[in-house]
């Protein structure tokens, strides 16, 4: 469990390069505004707009969700954070940052692994958690963030546009039954049941792209569940030609956002192995390409090298 004490605000991450030059009053120096201005309870931020987010955090605590389009665990975690933030009814704001599109923010937050979630209180960052976590843990951590914010005089709110807690966007179409079953299983951490649901959906409709993507993501989560990163890396280093060990470390790299490292590891091993032993590495690379996206520059580079090895 994350321990958010007042000391947690001291020097966790240096965001000085993102602040506007003008000095601002420190939190707690006076009565905070009763409400703050924000586009909504959940909105996107960029390298160019993040100074306004820092200012907003002087009135209401901000949760920053650092994610990427290719990151499967990010797609599982983000809806959970949005749900919890929405239920807090304006006492916390969620800001989403695409690390691929915003390299300055990724560097400032030292986002070496995603999903990465950071709080902002009075313009100061405090780490919350890294990786996909259960909904109950998200609730507990955001509760602690609210307590920390109160200790620093940051107790404002952002009013909801609808004013009565009703949904401001049109209701989304319900998920197909097997997709809904898979999503519920993922939230419960039952990856085997989620895999079975997605496989059944694909058996019924082999062209179901959402089921295919979901299956790849949940298989990855299932493979890395409970794995000790240090032990996995040590095993792979001790036997560089061990294909299962290399595949496991590559899974951990992709889960942590180190996509290029995973591609390079598997392609290097393919280059060193005879053709008859390359099959599992090729299959895993193709799975990764589907997760990250066929148009991603990293995939294009890796796909080109893969082709040169195979042909």
Q: Which residues are catalytic?
A: 71, 74
| Phi and psi torsions of 128, nearest 5° | -110, -65
The DSSP line for 64-98 is: EEEE-TT-HHHHHHHHHHHHHHHHTTTSSEEEEEE
Pull the structure tokens for residue 229: 């990163």
Q: Are strands 124-130 and 116-121 parallel, antiparallel or unpaired?
A: antiparallel
Peptide bond into 115 cis (omega under 30): yes
Closest CA to 127 of 138, 137, 116, 135: 116
* Helices 297-310, 259-272: inter-axial angle, 10-degree rounding: 0
Q: Coil, helix or strand for 165?
A: coil
Backbone phi, psi, residue 75, to 5°:
-70, -25
Give the number of C-alpha atoms closer than 13 A to the C-alpha of residue 310, restricted to the C-beta side.
14
The CA distances from residue 25 to 19, 22, 29, 121, 285, in Å, are 13, 10, 7, 13, 51
DSSP character string of 247-286:
HHHHHHHHHTT-HHHHHHHHHHHHHHS-GGG-HHHHHHHH
């Amino acid at each position: 469990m994350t321990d958010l004490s007042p000391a947690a605000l001291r020097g966790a991450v240096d965001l000085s390069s993102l602040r506007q030059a003008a000095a601002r009053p420190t939190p707690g120096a006076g009565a905070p505004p009763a409400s703050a201005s924000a586009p909504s309870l959940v909105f996107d931020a960029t390298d160019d707009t993040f100074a306004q987010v820092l200012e907003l955090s002087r009135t209401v605590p901000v949760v920053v969700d650092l994610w990427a389009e290719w990151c499967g665990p990010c797609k599982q975690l983000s809806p959970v954070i949005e749900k919890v933030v929405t239920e807090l009814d304006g006492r916390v704001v969620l800001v989403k940052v695409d690390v691929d599109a915003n390299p300055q923010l990724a560097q400032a937050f030292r986002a070496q692994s995603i999903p990465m979630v950071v709080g902002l209180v009075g313009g100061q960052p405090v780490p919350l958690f890294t990786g996909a976590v259960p909904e109950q843990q998200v609730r507990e951590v955001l509760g602690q963030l609210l307590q920390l914010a109160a200790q620093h005089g940051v107790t404002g709110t952002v009013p909801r546009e609808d004013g009565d807690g009703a949904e401001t966007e049109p209701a989304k179409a319900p998920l197909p039954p097997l997709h809904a079953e898979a999503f519920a299983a993922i939230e419960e951490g039952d990856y085997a049941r989620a895999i079975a649901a997605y496989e059944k959906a694909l058996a019924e409709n082999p062209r179901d792209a959402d089921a295919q993507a979901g299956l790849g993501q949940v298989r990855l989560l299932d493979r890395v569940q409970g794995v000790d990163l240090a032990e996995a890396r040590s095993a792979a280093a001790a036997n560089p030609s061990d294909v299962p060990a290399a595949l496991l470390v590559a899974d951990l790299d992709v889960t942590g956002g180190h996509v290029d490292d995973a591609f390079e590891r598997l392609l290097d091993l393919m280059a060193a192995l005879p053709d008859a032993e390359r099959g599992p590495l090729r299959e895993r690379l193709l799975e990764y390409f589907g997760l990250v996206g066929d148009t991603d520059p990293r995939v294009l580079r890796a796909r080109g090298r893969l082709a040169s090895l195979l042909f």
